[in-house]
Amino acid sequence: MRRIAVLTGTRADYGLLRGLLRAIDADPDLELQIIATGTHLLDAFGRTETEIVADGFRVAASVPIWSATDSALGVAADVGAALPIFAEALATLDPDVLVVLGDRLEAFAATTAATILSVPVAHIHGGELTEGAMDDALRHSITKMAYLHFTSTEDHRRRVIQLGEDPDRVSFHGAPIVDALNAIELLPRADVESRFGIRLPEPTALVTFHPAVMDVAAPEALLDELLAGLLAVDGLHVVITGSNSDIGTADVRRRIEEFVASHPDRVDFVESFGQVGYLSTMSASALVVGNSSSTVLEAPVLGVPSVLIGDRQKGRPLARSVVIPHPERGAIADAVREALHAPAPNDRVAIFGTPGFASRTAQYLRDAVIPRPPRKKFHDLEENTRHER
């Protein structure tokens, strides 16, 4: 039986990984080992490890890595301290492969530990670009340490190969969110309002904002412009979610708390919806606003217009329903008004593949030859070009 460890560090990546976890767990030839870390284990972020257990999964290892700091120096120290903690967990679990998704610091730290221990890594969502954050450097670093790659588009697959990865180990399996949206049963508007104690009048904007240290402006300045722009739109109700545990998150969260408290008639706050709650709220909203990846992934697939703020998602493929204003309150307000009056899209985004990511990936993890140690040879594009000539 092949042991598959899957790392999850936030409510967001767990929502994307849930289908794959179920597919692995249901395969008699695979043993699922869930490693919960990051904000899953923090009360301030809703302690969402409980959602994993509530879904019927067993957490094989809980790995606390974040301290109370959100300064760059403190986060760097946390990442360094996380390496031996992840290494100990991996040594105990002894998986045949570690699955990580995306580009967050916990994924980088766990992948580094796995590389040192010669544990093969399978990376989901490699080859993507987010130029307004440090995520690019982390994502591409994970790609170079990973042995297997499951990309969300064909363009991303080509980019991973461009980074020197063997095409035989790089598969376009589509985006996990396509599976989730295909299988999910969204809650009716009234159920969302009663379950989370919020209001969803017409029009409502669902807002998520995360600090990004390499964005076009300081996170607090961008957030101030965003919130002022939202207030400038007459009749707009706002539902805000909690931000990630990124560098600078304390100041962002403080500003959000003050904004919510100052405008109780127009603003509701929910720390963590969970995937079903978040997507149901999105479906019931007139638009999505902020710098979360949901503005360019989930919203276009659901057919909900979105207003993307700043450069945090710059480089990702964008649907026509995504509006990117100058990050200034007047331009943001105009973009929100434009999105509210835009005609509904005729079709849903198809660039992220078709449903079946979970089954395709679980089968690949079961059947692929995965050596240990995972020795790799650099795939040179120039050499291939010479051979073709």
pLDDT of 46-60, one tens digit each? 899 999 999 999 999
Q: What is the pLDDT of residue 110?
A: 98
Work out whether strand 148-151 and strand 59-63 pair parallel, antiparallel, or are unpaired. unpaired
C-alpha atoms less than 13 angstroms from C-alpha of 236 in its C-beta half-sphere:
26
pLDDT of 389 reads 41
How, if at all, do strands 59-63 and 306-308 pair? unpaired
Helix or strand or coil: residue 388? helix
Strand-pair partners of 322 = 306
CB 43 within 8 A of CB 68: no
* Of 300 and 346, more confident: 300
**C-alpha pair distances (Å), 21 with each of 227, 314, 364, 367:** 37, 29, 14, 17
Q: How far apart are CA 63 and CA 307, in angstroms?
A: 35
DSSP for 152-193 reads: SSHHHHHHHHHTT--GGGEEE---HHHHHHHH--PPPHHHHH
How is residue 43 annotated by DSSP?
G
Structure-block tokens of residue 307: 């207003």
Residue 326 scores a pLDDT above 90: yes
- Distance from CA of residue 247 to its chain's centroid? 16
Residue 348: pLDDT over 60: no
Helix (H, G, I), strand (E, B) or coil at 352: coil
Q: Are 206 and 239 in contact (CB under 8 A)?
A: yes
- What's the pLDDT at 184? 85
Under the banding of pLDDT at 50, 70 and 90, the label for residue 134 is confident
Lowest mean pLDDT among 96-105, 182-191, 309-318, 341-350: 341-350
The residue count of the chain comes to 389
pLDDT over threshold 70, residue 366: yes
Over residues 240-292, the pLDDT tens digits come to: 999 887 788 889 999 999 999 999 999 999 998 988 999 999 999 999 999 99
- Residue in 93, 17, 101, 95 with CA at minimum distance from that of residue 57: 17
Question: What is the band of 4 on the pLDDT scale with cuts at 50, 70, 90?
Answer: very high
What pLDDT shows up at residue 70? 81
Higher pLDDT, 108 or 320: 108
Asked if pLDDT for residue 114 goes beyond 70, the answer is yes
Joined together, the tokens standing for residue 68 give 């109370």
Distance separating alpha carbons of residues 64 and 89, to the nearest angstrom: 11
- Which two tokens mark 114? 């796995």
pLDDT at 385 over 60: no
Query: Among 118, 97, 100, which Cα is nearest to 109's?
Result: 100
Q: Are 297 and 177 in contact (CB under 8 A)?
A: yes
pLDDT > 90: percent of the chain? 76
pLDDT at site 375: 93
CA separation for the pair 85, 88 (Å, rounded): 5
Per the CB < 8 A criterion, the answer to whether 235 and 267 are in contact is no
Report H helices in 94-125: 105-116
For 253, counting Cβ atoms within 10 Å of its Cβ (0-12 exposed, 13-18 middle, 19+ buried), the class is buried
| pLDDT per position as a tens digit, 211-223 | 887 778 898 999 9
pLDDT at 388: 47
Residue 386 is predicted with a pLDDT of 47
Query: In this predicted model, what pLDDT tens digit does every residue of 22-76 receive, in sequence order?
Result: 999 999 999 999 999 999 999 888 899 999 999 999 999 999 999 978 888 999 9
Distance from C-alpha of 35 to C-alpha of 91, rounded to nearest angstrom: 13
| Residue 252 vs residues 61, 132, 212: alpha-carbon distances, Å | 30, 17, 11
